[in-house]
Amino acid sequence: MTTVTQADTIKTLTTHYIDGAFVESHGREVMDIIKPTNGKVIARVTLGDEEDTRRAIAAAKRAFVEFSRTTKEERSRYLRQLHEAVSASIDDLTDVMIEEYGGVARFARLIVESGVTAFAAAEKGLQELPLKQSWGKTTVTLEPVGVAGLITAWNANALFICLKLASAVAAGCTVVIKPSEMSSLQTRVMVEALNAAGLPNGVYNMVTGLGTTVGAELVRNPDVAKVSFTGSVAVGETIMRDGAATMKRITLELGGKSPTIVLDDAALDKAIPSALILAFLNSGQACAAGTRLLVPKSRLDEVKRAIQEGMRAYTVGDPADPNIMVGPMVSQKQYQRVESYIRKGIEEGAEVLVGGEGRPKGLEAGYFVKPTVFVNVKNDMTIAQEEIFGPVLSVIAYDSEDEAIRIANDSKYGLHSAVMGTDLERARRVASQLRAGRVVINNMTDDPQAPWGGFKYSGVGREYGKYGIEAFLEPKAILE
Ligand code: NAD
């Protein structure tokens, strides 16, 4: 157990951003923000309540009247302004992400940069999306759905805010953002950056608070037409159920247990380092993390050696150090969760190849775990089925390509997957049979115009590019 103490200077946050201004919170509950590298309280945040949320929704509703009538050109200009404003804060946003939740420096910057890119991508997506089409006596327009509630997870808060806001603005929606309460410091820096973009008052509003108060009000309020959520399956289910009462349009970006299939013709000196990057992305606290590594039985010994070699690079420690690959878990609770899964893996008969239980030597003060690789994992074991959200990789051996595909798809999730192989035609054939919203071949790569989202329990709907914008639009047909 890490002891919680106070840092020398503690920041205090007491405001939300409503109708173009920072306003004092009506909610009075105060939450501590604890630095995960040393367990010290670094900030105190006053949490918003239902009344703060209703004020923000009312501001968004007022702004919707004008904003929903803006043209493509006007919205494109706003997106460029947002892009410029957030670009100017990349360093500050990266630093606060490292401090507040221990994101490793190289990943934190990537996340923030991806957020900035989202505005440019939405502008491009908007240009490619016909908002009006006619044939015969029929005209179809795509109209903004209304006020949207944007609820984010903590693990890449800056990216989720930018991504959801970019799509909503492109569509002509106004929004109330409910960032993760665990990202309050990051959110403050983000709002200050967004504020510099000079959008009309009320187009975006931000209320920091708990999911069960601020989030729940967004889900139940009849003036909110759409909820776009990134987070856990459990909360996603609640949102879908509770949102039904007001017929909310819902986008859910949920968890994953993503497979990486190494085909038997793969060059292991490239495939294994790529697979490790996928697995230990953001210290394993990533929805897309490739946490099941499927390898041919015939090459298992080679794979084990390549993993042991590759894992030497996965140094654990101070996330501000650019050479560190794995930082702390975000909280004491997350630390305990990851440790309990490592214990469970051992109890169920998997073999620890690298890492194991307990804190790494010399890192007793924070929420650090050992990056862990299990071998001899069966796909029905808990560690192969449940999302751990930490640096734990399960290696599963298969006999044939068909078996690899079957194991990959034998999961309640279907968010992301990867195929590694030399014969590209074969890799594509395997990719086409995977039940996942996105499949990468041979490397972790991104395209901001490509849709992002999950099959099965990984979610409902898509984000990014024109797919993300469509999620904030309603088609309307006028027939003469
Ligand atoms: P979480 O579900 O606990 O919280 C997410 C957000 O929902 C927070 O802002 C929280 O305050 C809010 N919330 C909680 N209860 C609510 C309620 N009843 N009504 C409305 N809002 C409520 O998730 P987390 O711990 O912040 O994030 C980790 C999870 O997010 C993992 O499962 C991860 O896989 C998933 N995730 C998915 C993606 C994706 O793109 N698919 C990306 C990142 C994270």
Tell me if 145 sits within 8 A of 174, measured CB to CB: no
- C-alpha torsion 453→234→187→290, nearest 10: -50
Q: Which helix H or strand E contains 74, and what residues bound it?
A: helix 72-87
For the question of residue 480 being annotated catalytic, the response is no
The residue to mutate among 218, 235, 250, having the most atoms of ligand 1 within 8 angstroms of its beta carbon, is 235
Nearest atom (ligand 1) to Cα of 458:
41
Residue 1 banded pLDDT, cuts 50, 70, 90: low
The two structure tokens encoding residue 161: 């805010």
Average pLDDT over residues 113-117: 96
Average pLDDT on 414-428 reads 98
229 CA to centre of ligand 1 in angstroms: 7
Ligand 1 atom with the shortest distance to the CA of 463: 40
Q: What is the distance between the alpha carbons of residues 401 and 261, in angstroms, rounded to a whole number?
A: 9
DSSP for residue 426 = H
Probe residue for ligand 1, chosen from 254, 282, 415 as the CB with the greatest number of ligand atoms within 8 Å: 254
Q: Residue range 69-75: average pLDDT?
A: 98
Residue with CA closest to ligand 1 atom 11: 211
By alpha-carbon position, which residue is closest to atom 34 of ligand 1? Answer: 255
- Ligand 1 site-directed mutation target among 152, 180, 221, 455, most atoms within 8 Å of CB: 180
Neighbours of 134 (CB within 10 A): 10
Which of 263, 252, 331, 314 lies closest to 287, judged by CA? 252
Once rounded to an integer, what is the mean pLDDT over residues 444-457?
Answer: 93
Q: How confident is the model at residue 2 (pLDDT cuts 50, 70, 90)?
A: low
3-class SS of residue 357: coil
- Cross-strand bridge partners of residue 142: 475
Q: Which residue has a Cα nearest atom 30 of ligand 1?
A: 231
Identity at 382, one-letter amino acid code: T
Q: How far is the CA of 470 from the centre of ligand 1 (A)?
A: 22
One of 253, 387, 463, 470 is an active-site residue; which one? Answer: 253
User: Closest by alpha carbon to 282, among 98, 447, 441, 120?
Assistant: 98
DSSP state at residue 327: -
Which atom belonging to ligand 1 lies closest to the Cα atom of 235? Answer: 2
pLDDT at 242 over 90: yes
Q: What is the pLDDT of residue 446?
A: 86
Per-chain mean pLDDT for the chain: 97
5 pLDDT band, cuts 50/70/90, is confident
Average pLDDT over residues 286-312: 98
Residue identifier of the C-alpha nearest atom 39 of ligand 1: 253
C-alpha of residue 424 to centroid of ligand 1, in Å:
36
User: Two tokens at 134?
Assistant: 């006619």
Q: How confident is the model at residue 331 (pLDDT cuts 50, 70, 90)?
A: very high
User: What's the pLDDT band for 421 if we cut at 50, 70, 90?
Assistant: very high
CB within 8 Å of 410: residues ≥ 6 apart: 379
Four-residue CA torsion sign, 274, 398, 283, 116:
positive
Please give the pLDDT value at position 3.
66
Q: Of 156, 115, 379, which is closest to residue 285 (Cα–Cα)? A: 156
Measured between alpha carbons, how far is 204 from 176 in angstroms, rounded to an integer?
6
Among residues 204, 239, 198, the alpha carbon closest in space to that of 220 is found at 239
Distance CA 169, CA 166 (A): 5
- Give the nearest ligand 1 atom to 233 CA: 32
Give the closest residue (by CA) to ligand 1 atom 13: 211
What's the CA-to-centroid distance between 18 and ligand 1, angstroms?
23
Residues with CB under 6 A from ligand 1: 151-156, 178, 180-181, 210-212, 215-216, 219, 230-232, 235, 238-239, 253-256, 287, 387, 389, 415, 454, 459
Q: Out of 287, 339, 463, 470, which one is annotated catalytic?
A: 287
128 catalytically annotated = no
Question: Averaged over 84-102, what is the pLDDT?
Answer: 97
Dist. CA 228–CA 215, nearest whole Å: 11
281: its two tokens: 């992305």
